[in-house]
Amino acid sequence: MIFWLFLALFQDPVGEGMKALDQRNYTAAIEAFTKAAQADPADYAARFHLGLAYSLKGDTAAAIPHFKAALERKSGLYEAQLNLGIALLDQKQATDAIPLLQAAAAQKPGEFRPRYYLGEAQFASGDMAAAEASYAAALERDPKSADAELGLARTLARLNRLDEAERHYTRAGERNPDYTDGPLELASVYEAAKQPERAIAIYEKFADRVAVQERLGVLLLEKRPLEAIPHLEKAAAASPSAANRLALAQAYRETKQPAKAIEQLDLAVKSEPRDAALRLLYGRILRDGRNFQGAANQFYAATQIRADSSEAWSEFAGALILLEDYPRALAALDKVRQLQAETAAHFFFRALALDHLNQFQPAYDSYRKFLELSEGKSPNEEFKARQRARILEKELKKR
């Protein structure tokens, strides 16, 4: 009995815990500080270090109640305010973290960490103006901080001050090689801001990457399709997805290379047979090459994938008109009507089909409806419609 009492006098769970922390043995530190907290429930230091051990182990959720307990026992404890704020931020509780980090920053105005994490919490809560001020203050205290540079860059991007953001993204990459990709975030912001040329300028600096080749090609496709092709070819070679093949096919189509476009679309459709957009583009290119039956097959497949697509039914109807398959063309046009998507063009197609089937009265009515809706937008078709309407009108009067 005397031996165990003597041994207990020399046991020091706080000392054991501190030693375990130094050795980064966080499990042992948690065990030791738990004993210390149980032995003296008023010991705020034991509570704080118990929270710290959990936090360093990566279990911030478990750390939070111990940091709170330390603050309850010693109000205004700077280390507890700072670490509790960081732990709450890690647990996506940015709004709760802000007052703690503000208090920590006020206690030690020259310190970097409370200012930086306050900026992180304000950014996460959506207060960009406050986040900008906090990141700037953090950089005043540590001008070499890549993390603060990156935080400020992202904040300025959200504030739509893109030129300033680009400078800070660049600085973040200069200070930390892990952040050299930061400008790519800004490129996506430029895309969203409808400034593709600014995005292209950034992507061109990272053009050795497959994902960047894809974005660069897609952006160039709209206005400079010929320049887009080498980027899209590399993207498709590295990642032969249906999306990459589709973009490459579009570039080939825009640069009058239909055979290459067809080759890519055929491969894309085989890999994604249920993609209606692929089927529609494939059909249009086949139609442009006067392969009307192949086009009709693709348009029909699109209607089976998207039965509610008036676009697919319209294209299918047009292909059937070119094939002179008028009964099926009328059935497709009826689908467009059911979808309440008829335009002047649909009435012209309907008139042609009915005219060829010798259904003169409905053909005449459709020609007249087309002329009523067209309003000079399709002069060639309007000329044909007037001529046929006059002929049909005379024919109908004879009956």
The answer to whether position 143 is within a domain reads: no
The domain of 360 spans: 344-399
The helix (H) or strand (E) run that includes residue 252 is: helix 242-254
Q: 354 and 327 in contact (C-beta within 8 Å)?
A: no
Domain count, the chain: 1
Q: What is the mean pLDDT of residues 268-272?
A: 93
The answer to whether position 393 is within a domain reads: yes
The HSE-up count of residue 124 (CA atoms within 13 Å, CB side) is 19
The pLDDT of residue 6 is above 70: no
CA angle 66/72/74 to nearest 5° reads 105
Q: Kindly report, residue by residue over 226-249, the tens digit of the pLDDT.
A: 999 999 999 999 989 998 999 999
Q: What is the pTM of this model?
A: 0.65
Q: Kindly report, residue by residue over 138-197, the tens digit of the pLDDT.
A: 999 999 999 999 999 999 999 999 999 999 999 999 999 999 888 888 898 888 888 999
What is the Cα–Cα distance from 332 to 320, expressed in whole angstroms?
A: 9
The answer to whether position 381 is within a domain reads: yes
Q: Which residues contact 211 (CB under 8 A, 6 or more apart)?
A: none
pLDDT of residue 2: 38
Q: Kindly report, residue by residue over 70-108, the tens digit of the pLDDT.
A: 999 999 999 999 999 999 999 999 999 999 999 999 999
The answer to whether position 112 is within a domain reads: no
Q: What is the mean pLDDT of residues 20-26?
A: 92
Residue 258's Cβ-count burial label (10 Å; 0-12, 13-18, 19+) is middle
Q: What is the mean pLDDT of residues 331-353?
A: 96
What is the Cα–Cα distance from 281 to 265, expressed in whole angstroms?
A: 8
The answer to whether position 399 is within a domain reads: yes
The answer to whether position 190 is within a domain reads: no
pLDDT of residue 11: 55
What is the Cα–Cα distance from 88 to 104, expressed in whole angstroms?
A: 14
The answer to whether position 379 is within a domain reads: yes
For residue 206, give the DSSP letter: G
pLDDT of residue 5: 36
The answer to whether position 375 is within a domain reads: yes
For residue 144, give the DSSP letter: T
CA angle 130/136/170 to nearest 5° reads 115
Q: Cα dist. 321→314, 317, 324, 385 in Å? A: 11, 6, 5, 16
